[in-house]
Chain A
């Protein structure tokens, strides 16, 4: 051990001393991990989708401003999901691609695809650290895989503090790639679902493979003609501490997606406009009902404005309210108001919350197509998630904090969704085209 002759600059000495001092005061040389282990149970009304979702989050706080977070989510979905077709006075049979068994939906019920099941695994990693007194950054990555869908993204943010950290300006961006590998290949938009050779070729040219190959491969989701979706997001936000009890945040977000944005498992009914006994019934082509695959534009630009305020009262209760306005070039506008109030007692807290969401329909949303327009529309979807929609969620979270800082918590939520829109004509008017849906969510978790 010898004194080094090369003199360090005093500036370096100051920085190295700060680092050495951090190492000295850290009680246990290695930083502690904290964990949050929770399970979510989700159940839709009328036996529709149910899900079990275990979540494990781990966080290592290296110091008050530096942390590494890892989150692993697994979920298993089962049940049935609306396929887009309208209910009908007669039973409806739907064929499926690649020779799989079709399914039949009873008369006067909303047609559901009963094979809606999937297992998904997702992993996200996030790193947050300061650059210096005034700047901080974060970097993250995300990946999720299910048998017909894979999603990967990377994100980063840069924050600048002003006014003794009372004001934080944040710029964030993320870049994502989704790969959709529908069972049996991606169908051609707006084509008849009963036709078997209706898979779009535009991606196949590169592979030069025939469609049989795809059929053999549909379970793997790898190496077949996966469709891709590119997602680019940008956000600029400002967080302002108004006083020692109140925090306010404003964000503007811009999101661009391009590629395969269509849902390969959704379609639309074609309704007969011919005057007569079948007016408003399913249009027949080759003496069977005609359904066509949905088709969405291959790009979407979304913008959003977000405002949030958090206030802590003198009795330690916390009130949290946020509002989001979103609009996109598909013609959808949505408003979200989310509010929570946390009543805090010595160890226990109760947090009731209400969330209200409303959205207008996309320009190309059609509950159904007709025999006169199905060949002329450029895009169409009957997916209720792109229609006129209102949802209301009531929730109650209860937590118990132990003296050790560990916390046991549970949350119940009741979700109510109502849709509305064009009620059709003729026979269709007697059908409930916009069934409402309820869902229940139960989360139990432990933080330690």
Chain B
């Protein structure tokens, strides 16, 4: 029996911006769907002997639809989505929907827990920091011009009334948590469909941010490879995981070299400059993808203290610096 190509046609709404997902039933019985979302290659893996194949395909279609829905809703590149409407009404109080409300609530908690270092208003720094390989180091004045528009505390937000006043010039960027959120939402879609089963094995991977879940009777956990930085997929370490998530912060290709110093793409919202001496990459194995992703980002934001910080969380990790690779015991 060889791998079998299956079609989601008819059960998946078409999004013109994305190619049609490719679903393959592998010899092992695992369904593997590959698709694009948030400018990343993504995949969903599903196996469950207790759920018939047509239902499995429907579940995968639902999960992909959910990931695309979130992308479409909060993308900065679309004309009339929730994100665009939010920013059209800057300078006046506006009501936000329940999902956006929850995201703002979470952003607020993350801002507090990171002592202000994780800030979803810091996205506008992209205007002067472009990590696109052109190696342009901004002028000091360019950075300073943007600082008055950065700071979560500048928002006027009444969570109890779902009311937000977004000052002019301030921009919200859900990119820092949107992918992790989409991973967990897609996973929720899959879990709803296998609620009556104990034998499911599920994996959602959006561009390297991964969540896995296995039912009580599914005894084979997932085996996940963790790429080493700077080796282009050459060397891997592996972890096995039945329930949890893996998320990575750090992209070795996204940096600027200036006067012999390397500037990574993790920016400090207080200074407007890249965090100095941040690790090349941090991979965190967490309870869920959002927690893992946030911890990885928080760790990067600690700069020179990154290793001490992630060690102190007690959460499993792989951290890579120019000096080498470090792992939790």
Contact = CB atoms under 8 A, between A and B. Distances in A.
A405 B192 CA distance: 10
A4 B286 contact: no
Interface stretch (B38-46, B77-85, B112-120, B231-239): B112-120
Contacts of B315: 14
A11 B184 contact: no
A166 to B, nearest CB: 6
Given A2-B153, A405-B195, A29 B102 contact: yes
B167 to A, nearest CB: 14
B149 interface: no
Interface in A263-292: none
Contact of B288 (A13, A22, A241): A22
A165 interface: yes
A300 B144 CA distance: 82
Given A18-B288, A21-B291, A25-B184, A165 B216 contact: yes
Contact of A4 (B108, B112, B181, B219): B112
B28 interface: no
B110 interface: yes
Contacts of A207: none
Given A3-B115, A8-B113, A244-B199, A24 B217 contact: no
B242 A165 contact: yes
Nearest to A16: B113
B195 A20 contact: no
Nearest to A12: B113
Nearest to A21: B290
B288 A164 contact: no
Contacts of A27: 185, 188
Contacts of B95: none
B312 interface: yes
B287 interface: yes
A16 to B, nearest CB: 6
A145 interface: no
Nearest to A163: B219
B298 interface: yes
B213 to A, nearest CB: 9
Contact of B314 (A2, A14, A312): A14
B242 A11 contact: no
B198 interface: yes
B105 interface: yes
A115 interface: no
- Size class of the B contact interface (CB-based, 8 Å): 35 or more
Given A9-B312, A20-B110, A166-B219, A25 B199 contact: no
B50 interface: yes
Contact of B291 (A1, A9, A11, A17): A17
Interface string B282-322: 00001110110011001000000000011011110000000
A7 B117 CA distance: 13
Given A2-B153, A3-B115, A244 B217 contact: yes
A380 B219 CA distance: 54
B196 interface: yes
Contacts of A18: 286-288, 291
A10 interface: yes
Of the candidates B112, B188, B309, the one having the most CB atoms from chain A within 10 angstroms of its own CB is: B112
A244 B113 CA distance: 40
Contact of B313 (A4, A11, A22, A243): A11
Contacts of B53: none
Given A4-B112, A312-B199, A405-B195, A11 B312 contact: yes
Interface string B24-62: 000000000000000000000000011010000000000
B242 A4 contact: no
A46 interface: no
Contact of B98 (A29, A314, A401): A29
Given A23-B105, A29-B98, A244-B219, A316 B291 contact: no
Contacts of B288: 18, 21-22, 25
Contact of B113 (A17, A25, A245, A405): A17
A130 to B, nearest CB: 11
A312 B50 contact: yes
Contacts of B198: 312
A29 B101 CA distance: 11
B216 A241 contact: yes
B294 A17 contact: yes
Contacts of A16: 109, 113
A405 B196 contact: yes
A243 B298 CA distance: 39
A321 interface: no
Contacts of A64: 191
Interface string A15-46: 01110111111010100000000000000000
A238 interface: no
A438 B309 CA distance: 70
Interface string A384-408: 0000000000000000010001000
Contacts of B196: 401, 405
Interface in A287-328: 312, 314, 316
A346 interface: yes
A129 interface: no
Given A10-B312, A312-B199, 14 more contacts: A1-B108, A1-B152, A8-B113, A10-B310, A13-B295, A17-B113, A18-B291, A24-B184, A166-B219, A241-B217, A241-B219, A243-B217, A244-B218, A247-B216
Interface of B: 49-50, 52, 98, 102-103, 105-106, 108-116, 152-153, 181, 184-185, 188, 191, 195-196, 198-199, 216-221, 242, 286-288, 290-291, 294-295, 298, 309-310, 312-315
26 contacts: A1-B153, A3-B111, A3-B115, A3-B116, A10-B310, A11-B312, A13-B114, A13-B298, A14-B286, A17-B110, A18-B287, A20-B105, A20-B290, A21-B290, A24-B103, A24-B184, A25-B181, A25-B288, A25-B290, A27-B185, A27-B188, A64-B191, A164-B221, A165-B216, A166-B219, A243-B219
List the 4 closest pairs (A to B, CB-CB), nearest first: A21-B290, A10-B312, A10-B313, A14-B313
